[in-house]
């Protein structure tokens, strides 16, 4: 860059010996230390969290006399001469000796094993690598109820005990009150369907014949001619609010009549709903 251009730069007009103004010391209150000491003195364990939520005792459970005394067991009469242990056998007493049994336990055990039914192992499942075993039947993994036959309805069924109730639930017998409730729901649904069908029949649409359609079309055209004649009889200058309102009303009626006439002329078959 040319040194002449550098000397003529506008940044050279800014003095380079500017210094930042000295910062004033920040204001600090004289009572800051005193306030900190007072806050530490007044702060307790529950000062910031509020009072402890302790259940208020009921007025009926007031403290009664001797209610906190230790209840001792009832006293028993002590008999010094009562014997707690059986008597020591005499020196002359001898045990019964020489009694033998003629039963052959080996043959008996062999016969029990041959005749008896082998015990089936209880189904279990292991859910951890450490070998924790659990009952399979009550775990929900064994298909116990889905393979049973359909439920059977037994009329006038009463449960006289808990075992009867468990038997009913286990074998899928539907109680009588549930069957009655299902019949009531089905009957109410049928009545509602019949009511809807009757209303649909009453509200069935009626078809206009060609003569009625032509009469309606001619009536609409006649009304349009009357409104158009009244519209043309308006004054040329519409300089008041009532005149403007009347003109807008006639235009709206003519537009609606033209729309109805076009629909009837376009469609040859027309249905109307019964009121």
**232-243 tens-digit pLDDT:** 888 888 888 888
Percent share of the chain, pLDDT over 90:
17
The predicted pLDDT at position 184 comes to 95
**Does the pLDDT of residue 14 top 90, yes or no?**
no
Residue 175 binned pLDDT confidence (cut-offs 50, 70, 90): confident
Q: Looking up tokens 């200058």, which residue turns up?
A: 237
Can you give the pTM of this predicted structure? Answer: 0.29
Number of alpha carbons in the 13 Å side-chain half-sphere of residue 175: 10
**Does the pLDDT of residue 191 top 90, yes or no?**
yes
The predicted pLDDT at position 235 comes to 82
* 272/267 Cα distance (integer angstroms): 13
- Give the residue among 272, 263, 261 at the shortest CA–CA distance from 222: 261
| The two three-digit tokens of residue 178, written as one number | 């549930």
In the chain, the N- to C-terminal Cα span, in Å, equals: 99
Residue 212 binned pLDDT confidence (cut-offs 50, 70, 90): confident
Residue 155 binned pLDDT confidence (cut-offs 50, 70, 90): very low
Other beta carbons within 10 Å of 55 = 5
Other beta carbons within 10 Å of 257 = 19
Strand segments (E) across 103-194: 124-126, 133-135
**Does the pLDDT of residue 190 top 90, yes or no?**
yes
Helix (H) or strand (E) holding 56: none
- What average pLDDT does range 266-270 have in this prediction? 83
**Does the pLDDT of residue 152 top 50, yes or no?**
no
pLDDT, tens digit (0-9, with 9 covering 90-100), for 30-59 = 999 998 888 887 666 555 566 667 788 888
The predicted pLDDT at position 7 comes to 60
Averaged pLDDT of the chain: 80
């Amino acid at each position: 860059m040319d040194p002449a251009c550098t000397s003529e730069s506008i940044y050279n007009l800014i003095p380079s010996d500017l210094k930042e103004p000295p910062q004033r010391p920040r204001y600090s209150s004289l009572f800051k230390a005193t306030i900190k000491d007072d806050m530490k003195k007044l702060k307790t364990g529950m000062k910031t969290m509020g009072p402890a939520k302790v259940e208020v005792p009921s007025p009926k459970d007031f403290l009664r006399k001797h209610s906190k005394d230790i209840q001792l067991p009832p006293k028993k009469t002590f008999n010094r001469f009562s014997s707690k242990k059986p008597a020591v056998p005499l020196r002359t007493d001898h045990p019964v000796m020489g009694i033998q049994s003629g039963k052959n336990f080996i043959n008996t055990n062999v016969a029990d094993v041959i005749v008896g039914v082998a015990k089936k192992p209880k189904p279990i499942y292991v859910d951890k690598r450490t070998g924790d075993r659990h009952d399979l039947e009550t775990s929900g993994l064994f298909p116990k109820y889905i393979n049973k036959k359909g439920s059977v309805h037994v009329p006038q069924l009463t449960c006289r005990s808990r075992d009867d109730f468990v038997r009913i639930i286990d074998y899928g017998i539907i109680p009588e009150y549930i069957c009655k409730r299902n019949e009531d729901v089905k009957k109410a649904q049928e009545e509602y369907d019949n009511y809807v069908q009757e209303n649909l029949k009453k509200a069935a649409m009626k078809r206009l014949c060609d003569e009625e359609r032509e009469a309606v079309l001619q009536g609409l055209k006649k009304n349009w001619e009357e409104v158009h004649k009244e519209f043309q009889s308006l004054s040329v200058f519409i300089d008041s609010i009532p005149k403007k309102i009347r003109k807008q009303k006639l235009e709206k009626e003519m537009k609606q009549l033209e729309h109805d006439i076009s629909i009837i002329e376009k469609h040859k078959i027309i249905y109307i709903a019964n009121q």
